[in-house]
Amino acid sequence: MSPWGAVCLTEGSRQILLSAKAFDVEEIVPGGEVAAEIGSKLVLNCNATGCESPAFFWRTQLDYPLGGNVSNQGSSSVLTIKNVSKGHERDYLCSASCGNNNKQRTVSIRIFSFPSDPIIETSGPLVLGKPASITCRVLEVYPSDGLDLELKKGEDIMLSTTGFEDSVTTTFIPTETDIGKEITCVASLSVEAMEPKQRQTVHKLNVNYGPWKTRIAASPGTTVLEDGTLILHCVSESNPPPRIVWKKQIANETLQTIAKNHTLSIPNVQFGDSGVYICEVTNEVTNQMENRTVTVSVQGVPRLPEFSVLPSETVIEGESVTLQCSVESSPVAQFIIIRKLPSQDEILDSKDGIVHIPSVTPDDAGSYECEVENVFERRKMSITLSVKSPSSTAATFTYQPENITEVEDFDSNSATYNIPQDNSILENETSLAPKDRTSTLYILSNNDTITYAVEVFAAVTNGTEEIEIIIVKTEEADYVTPMIIGVSSVATVAGPVAAILVYISRKTKINGSYSLVRSLSP
């Protein structure tokens, strides 16, 4: 049969037959099966042949709504879906009629959604050596049963899935080899009527670790000359970068914070800058801490030398004396204490610059010299030691026999003294403990017996004195020649308190005169 047929034209009462191409409907464009992405615009073209103005009709199977707009123009009809959704996944039919002839074509619409690359997520910060999970997820994918996921670490496949899942999760323990390694998630979507689509995401592993391999560099070194510059640099491997604090160990092992930086710079160093420095490194994510220490020695010439005598450079014979030589020095200085003598100097046996003399004698007096030396310099210092002999203690009594009056004058060579009264029958009682050293007047009566105890405390020596007093009264009434009182021997005794017991003799009247009655024995 020829593809050409007759065209019937009506003109008045006449019908004119024209030879033309047979009426038909071409394949819908695009035709067959069409893959449309959700949210996209879809345009379907339906064209008829063999008819100048056919009538078109669009519908879906089971008469679902078209969800689009139809536009007819001549032998062509267009169905436009502006925003494709899952509801458009249907078979669409385009019917055309020309006279009594009807023709139709069908197209199948397959819907898919694959709008973005997959997302890689981790279960919080990754920490070296601690279990962690990693997830690859594809958002708004459709249909999920056509999705394939593959999770790789480097070139190694960690996990893969096929269909019905839009995410994949695996657990692993980060190791040192994982630091900086790449994780790749590959997502492939297969839908009928289209070639498989593939998307992938690469994520570099951020493994937190440390601090570790911490080390300290000292410039110019751990031994530095006084007045120089010391630079300490602390380096540590850590992710994230560590927080560094410099501390110095002071007395009682107490730590003092001195800087918060990688580099600690100390210009014009002094001896006091010597000591133990600590670099404290902390990773705030891993909550790990690492310490490194360095001992710094500042060296130079001896400083602040001092040579002294304790208790003083002038002492009393018999006292204890300490010669002490000290200096600030690094490295440690050596001490030599020398006694300067006319013939040949004597090196004394000293320990750490100290010489102790338990009981000085006049022979110990003289000049002493201390030599202080380290690798940088030698210094000398001198002192002179004076030794004084102990002074004696004397008590002098005078008697003026006027109106039977006794005058006692105490002169104890800068001594303090006290006169307690043992038995007093004085007519006019007077304090016997004067604070000064002036004469004290006592009024006596006949036939009196008086005993006094005199304690003398000297600044130099302690002693006990026995004193005899001779009192003579003559017959002359107008004047009396004073008699001198003799002071007997002084005996020095040991002990912190010296006592002089003075016994005043009992007075007896014999032939109109007074004579001495010797004091009783203690």
Averaged pLDDT, 269-294: 93
For residue 11, pLDDT beyond 60 = no
CA dist., res. 370 & res. 241, Å (int): 55
Contact between 488 and 468 (Cβ < 8 Å): yes
Q: Which of the four pLDDT bands, split at 50, 70 and 90, describes residue 282? A: very high
438 versus 382: the higher-pLDDT residue is: 382
Q: pLDDT for 505-522, tens place per residue?
A: 333 232 333 222 333 232
Which DSSP symbol is given to 179? T
Pairing label, strands 91-98, 101-112: antiparallel
Count the residues in the chain: 522
Instruction: Report the pLDDT value the prediction gives residue 253, as an integer from 0 to 100.
Output: 81
Q: Which two tokens stand for residue 259?
A: 């800087």
Q: Which two tokens stand for residue 350?
A: 């000293």
Q: Which two tokens stand for residue 338?
A: 């020398």
510: left (phi over 0), alpha (psi -120 to 50) or beta: beta
Instruction: Report the pLDDT value the prediction gives residue 436, as an integer from 0 to 100.
Output: 43
For residue 467, pLDDT beyond 80 = no
Query: Partners of 163 in the beta sheet?
Result: none
Q: Which of the four pLDDT bands, split at 50, 70 and 90, describes residue 385? A: very high
Among 39-48, 247-256, 471-480, name the one with the lowest average pLDDT: 471-480
DSSP characters over 369-382? EEEEE-SS-EEEEE
**Residue 483 backbone phi and psi in degrees, to 5:** -105, 145
Averaged pLDDT, 220-244: 94
For 359, how many CA atoms within 13 A lie in the half-sphere containing its CB?
A: 1
Contact between 297 and 274 (Cβ < 8 Å): yes
Instruction: Report the pLDDT value the prediction gives residue 63, as an integer from 0 to 100.
Output: 85
Q: pLDDT for 130-163, tens place per residue?
A: 999 999 999 999 998 899 999 999 999 999 998 8
Among 40-54, 91-105, 178-192, 450-464, name the one with the lowest average pLDDT: 450-464
Query: Partners of 29 in the beta sheet?
Result: 45
- Cα–chain center distance at 367: 51
For residue 426, pLDDT beyond 80 = no
Q: Tell me, what amino acid is at 249?
A: Q
Q: Which of the four pLDDT bands, split at 50, 70 and 90, describes residue 36? A: very high
377 contact partners, CB below 8 Å, separation of at least 6: 301, 302
110: left (phi over 0), alpha (psi -120 to 50) or beta: beta
Instruction: Report the pLDDT value the prediction gives residue 252, as an integer from 0 to 100.
Output: 82
pTM for this one? 0.51
Contact between 314 and 364 (Cβ < 8 Å): no
Instruction: Report the pLDDT value the prediction gives residue 65, as an integer from 0 to 100.
Output: 87
Pairing label, strands 405-408, 398-400: antiparallel
Averaged pLDDT, 463-483: 39
37 contact partners, CB below 8 Å, separation of at least 6: 84, 111, 112, 113, 114, 115
Q: pLDDT for 170-198, tens place per residue?
A: 999 999 999 989 999 999 999 888 889 99
Contact between 275 and 249 (Cβ < 8 Å): yes
457 versus 363: the higher-pLDDT residue is: 363
- CA 26, 29, 35, 39 torsion-angle sign: negative
Contacts of 159-167 spanning 24+ positions with Cβ under 8 A: 166/137, 166/138, 166/139, 166/141, 167/135, 167/136, 167/137, 167/138
CA dist., res. 145 & res. 129, Å (int): 36
- Cα–chain center distance at 183: 39
Q: pLDDT for 75-100, tens place per residue?
A: 999 999 999 999 999 999 999 999 88
Q: Which of the four pLDDT bands, split at 50, 70 and 90, describes residue 38? A: very high
Residue in 179, 193, 57, 184 with CA at minimum distance from that of residue 128: 179
Cβ neighbours around 53 below 10 Å, total: 9
Q: Which of the four pLDDT bands, split at 50, 70 and 90, describes residue 372? A: very high
Cβ neighbours around 105 below 10 Å, total: 20
Q: Which of the four pLDDT bands, split at 50, 70 and 90, describes residue 35? A: very high
Averaged pLDDT, 408-423: 39
- CA 141, 146, 150, 151 torsion-angle sign: positive
pLDDT, averaged across the chain: 76
Instruction: Report the pLDDT value the prediction gives residue 105, as an integer from 0 to 100.
Output: 94
Instruction: Report the pLDDT value the prediction gives residue 483, as an integer from 0 to 100.
Output: 33
Contact between 83 and 69 (Cβ < 8 Å): no
For residue 500, pLDDT beyond 60 = no
Averaged pLDDT, 209-234: 94
424 versus 71: the higher-pLDDT residue is: 71
Q: Which of the four pLDDT bands, split at 50, 70 and 90, describes residue 391? A: low
308 versus 439: the higher-pLDDT residue is: 308
